[in-house]
């Protein structure tokens, strides 16, 4: 797991409120990130940006995957800094099932935010597998952004 530190200028709120959002580079995840940033700004919550990948990619090293995932987090943190400059952000990359990561991160959170569809291969689905798993197992309220 890699943690990207809080961005300078994001100003610590001292808040114990947490909003967790999952990002994967998809359009739906970007919409979820934007929605979560606005909600964190409105409520004064810390925004935890989570991304994850499962081991087993062929022809790609773990270091290459980790670098790509860290870029996703860095881009998400930068986007939040532009959209909601007062929001404190923390980003983490995990080598584990995305749904499992988000469900674990939801423990003690005020809200979990996910996009309705990710990068999975089943385009006809209204709700992606991660959103579906999170909707059944999250340990806090969940918002699924279309």
Residue holding tokens 């749904």?
99
Rg of the chain over Cα atoms, rounded to whole angstroms, equals 14
Instruction: Quickly state the pLDDT bin for 5 (edges 50, 70, 90).
Output: very low
CB-based contact 95:70 (threshold 8 Å): no
> How many domains are there within the chain?
1
Q: How confident is the model over 63-99, as pLDDT tens digits? A: 898 999 999 999 999 999 999 999 999 999 999 999 9
Averaged pLDDT, 129-146:
94
pLDDT at 6 over 90: no
Structural domain of 51: 2-145
Bridge partners (DSSP) of residue 113 are 21, 143
Find the CATH number of the domain harbouring 134. Answer: 3.40.50.620
Q: How confident is the model over 18-75, as pLDDT tens digits? A: 999 999 999 999 999 999 999 999 999 999 999 999 877 667 888 898 999 999 999 9
């Amino acid at each position: 797991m890699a943690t990207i530190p809080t961005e300078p200028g994001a100003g610590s709120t001292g808040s114990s409120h947490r909003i967790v959002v999952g990002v994967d580079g998809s359009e739906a995840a970007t919409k979820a990130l934007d929605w979560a940033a606005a909600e964190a700004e409105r409520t004064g919550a810390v925004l935890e940006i989570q991304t994850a990948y499962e081991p087993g990619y062929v022809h790609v090293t773990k270091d290459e995957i980790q670098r790509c995932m860290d870029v996703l987090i860095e881009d998400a943190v930068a986007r939040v800094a532009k959209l909601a400059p007062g929001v404190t952000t923390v980003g983490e990359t995990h080598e584990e099932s995305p749904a499992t990561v988000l469900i674990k991160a939801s423990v003690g959170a005020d809200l979990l935010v996910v996009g309705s569809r990710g990068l999975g291969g089943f385009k006809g689905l209204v709700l992606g597998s991660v959103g579906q798993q999170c909707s059944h197992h999250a340990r806090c309220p969940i918002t699924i952004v279309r």
